[in-house]
Amino acid sequence: MVRVGVMASGNGSNFENLVRASRDGRAKAYEITVLVVDKADAFALQRAENLKIPAFFVNPRDFADKQAYEREVIRILEAHQVEVVALAGYMRILSPVLLNRYQWNLLNIHPAYLPEFRGKDGIGDAFRAGVSQTGVSIHHVDEGIDTGEIVYQERLEIDAQWSLEELQSAIHALEHALYPRVLNDFCQKKEQA
Ligand code: GRF
């Protein structure tokens, strides 16, 4: 099994879903060994406690710069033998420190069909643009904002009657179906390599 660390900033529904998938048989090739968050009040911390996953809040303000902060994150990930890092609502751009350490073993999930609607509010931006389709993308991470190589993406039709909240629920449901599957496939291939 590939040991996966998750990084998040907020709610953590994708984090919880990745953990549950590894426990209920949906995903067999990975286990989530640790959660790292950059916000003291991230609800993901609560979820980790309930799920009994070791979780750490690392405050970027306690460090001189992003590089020093990420070195501490790496120390925690390595202490939990993390081989693959899954970003799940982690709202910071990574510096070369984390990028170089995990390189092709860093994945992110984005709630739009990249390269459409990059950035912080992929769902709201698609909603306001009035498009008839959006989607979900899982991609490698590079120094840009949602610019890394796509691993997998899927389209979602937007019902013209939907409110923003309804679109959000549909996107999150698709994310929860896809992320464990794609992470599992990725880890399976890694094990076979
Ligand atoms: C998800 O929509 C993800 O695509 C984006 O941030 C959101 C995180 O949601 N990067 P949650 O914290 O996993 O509930």
pLDDT in tens, 102-159: 999 999 999 999 999 999 999 999 999 999 999 999 999 999 988 999 999 999 999 9
Residue 157: per-residue pLDDT? 98
The Cα 133–Cα 128 span in angstroms is 12
CA distances in angstroms from 28 to 2, 6, 7, 31, 76, listed in the order given: 9, 17, 20, 8, 24
Query: pLDDT at position 36, please?
Result: 98
Check pocket membership of 153 for ligand 1, CB cut-off 6 A.
no
Q: Is the pLDDT of residue 83 over 90?
A: yes
Spatial neighbors of 183 by CB under 8 A, at least 6 apart, are 4, 18, 27, 30, 84, 86, 107, 138
pLDDT of res. 162: 98
Q: How high is the pLDDT of residue 66?
A: 97
* C-beta separation of 90 from 14 below 8 A: no
DSSP state of 103: G
SS3 112: coil
* Any atom of ligand 1 within 6 Å of the Cβ of 88: yes
Instruction: Answer yes or no: is pLDDT of 193 > 90.
Output: no
Kindly state if the Cβ of 89 falls inside 6 Å of ligand 1: yes
Query: Could you tell me the pLDDT band of residue 176, with boundaries at 50, 70 and 90?
Result: very high
Give the active site residues: 110
The pairing of beta strand 2-8 with beta strand 55-57: unpaired
Question: Ligand 1, closest atom to CA 111?
Answer: 4
Task: Encode pLDDT of 55-70 as tens digits.
Answer: 999 999 999 999 999 9
Per-residue pLDDT, 85: 98
CA of 18 to the centre of ligand 1 (A): 12
Q: Which atom of ligand 1 is nearest to the CA of 8?
A: 12
CA 20 to ligand 1 center in whole angstroms: 16
Average pLDDT, the chain: 97
Q: What is the Å distance from ligand 1's center to 88 Cα?
A: 6
Q: Give residue 164's pLDDT band: very low, low, confident or very high (50, 70, 90).
A: very high
